[in-house]
Amino acid sequence: MNRSIWKWLAASLTLLLALGIMVWAGLAAYLHHRNATWLEEAEAAYAAGDWTLAKHRLERYLPQDRTNTELLLKYANACRHITANRTASLQSASVAYLQILSQDPGELDDTRLADAAPDGLGYADLPAFLATADGAKALERALRDRLDDRLQAELIYDPVTKRFSNLGEDENAFAARLTATPGVSAKRTALETKIAKLQRDIATKEQEVKGRKWEKWLSVFTVVFRNLASLSGGKGKVSTTGMGGVLTKNRMENTAEQRKASLEAQLQEAQQQLAEVSTPDPSRFERRVIKPAKTDVSLIRYDVVWVY
């Protein structure tokens, strides 16, 4: 395939890519304009009391903004005002109210509930399905499914001690409390004991290194003096006797130094761990969102208020 064909293919692909981007941008602009128009018409119809048009336009717009509780409330209110096909409209309003409650349940002031209805109104019986055992179980399941999410909280977590803060506790208070917990105190005591032992072992190894060094140089001087005596005696020959001992002493010295270095590394690590335990650095803390497991949530009491 010659170069001209490659150029033609590259140009074609570039053109197709540019057309695709233009189509995508045009479609995005159209959808944005369409949704904005639906919302504008819905707001205008709602303000003018044209409940049917408001319901129709909101039904088109809300799939793009499902969590907008303000618009869901307007949609439910519009459905409640529609008299034609009353049953279907009230069912649509009920679905909207359920969506609002599932997203942001409000707090109910039970002190305002009364046994008698306001003048001109009366209390109707609860729906039949709520009075059955299956209805109660369905309510309990729905409550238990929601409670774990409603009880979630963001806490501070320390990856070193693997502990969580208390609810509402700031980083400084959490760090101060960590140093006083029994587990941290026990770990600090264990580290202090370990550090003291390592320091004693290092001091012992320090003496051993000095002793090995002295033995090595003593062996070296012994070999040197022996050869000096041999040369001064007119033999003119260098003796290697004792060199094996020098090498052995040197190896023993290196081994002692390596063991000392290993102990010093362990001491440094233990001291760093002690510093982390004794004075926690808030910068190491993490923030984690936790919530109870569904099996850990128990329903002690619940009341049913039927609003329609």
pLDDT tens-digit profile of 67-110?
A: 888 888 888 888 888 888 878 888 888 788 777 767 665 666 66
Going from N- to C-terminal start, the domains of the chain cover 14-103, 171-290
Please compute the mean of the pLDDT values over residues 246-263 and round it to a whole number.
74
What pLDDT does residue 249 have?
67
Q: What is the pLDDT of residues 217-248, one digit of tens each?
A: 666 666 566 656 555 555 555 455 555 565 67
Q: If DSSP states are collapsed to H, E and C, what string results for the chain?
A: CCHHHHHHHHHHHHHHHHHHHHHHHHHHHHHHHHHHHHHHHHHHHHHHCCHHHHHHHHHHHHHHCCCCHHHHHHHHHHHHHCCCCHHHHHHHHHHHHHHHHHHCCCCCCHHHCCCCCCCCCCCCCCCHHHHCHHHHHHHHHHHHHHHHHHCCEEEEEECCCCEECCCCCCHHHHHHHHCCCHHHHHHHHHHHHHHHHHHHHHHHHHHHHHHHHHHHHHHHHHHHHHHHHHHHCCCCCCCCCCHHHHHHHHHHHHHHHHHHHHHHHHHHHHHHHHHHHHCCCHHHCEEEEECCCHHHCCCCCCCCCCCC
Which tops the pLDDT comparison, 195 or 6? 195
Confidence band for 129, pLDDT divided at 50, 70 and 90: low
What pLDDT does residue 237 have?
54
What pLDDT does residue 85 have?
81
CATH placement of domain 14-103: 1.25.40.10
Q: What is the pLDDT of residues 148-177, one digit of tens each?
A: 667 788 899 988 778 888 888 888 888 878
Is the pLDDT score of 283 beyond 70?
yes
What pLDDT does residue 241 have?
53
**The tokens of 61 are what?**
């717009």
Cβ-contact 158, 174 below 8 angstroms: yes
Which tops the pLDDT comparison, 56 or 219? 56
What pLDDT does residue 115 have?
73
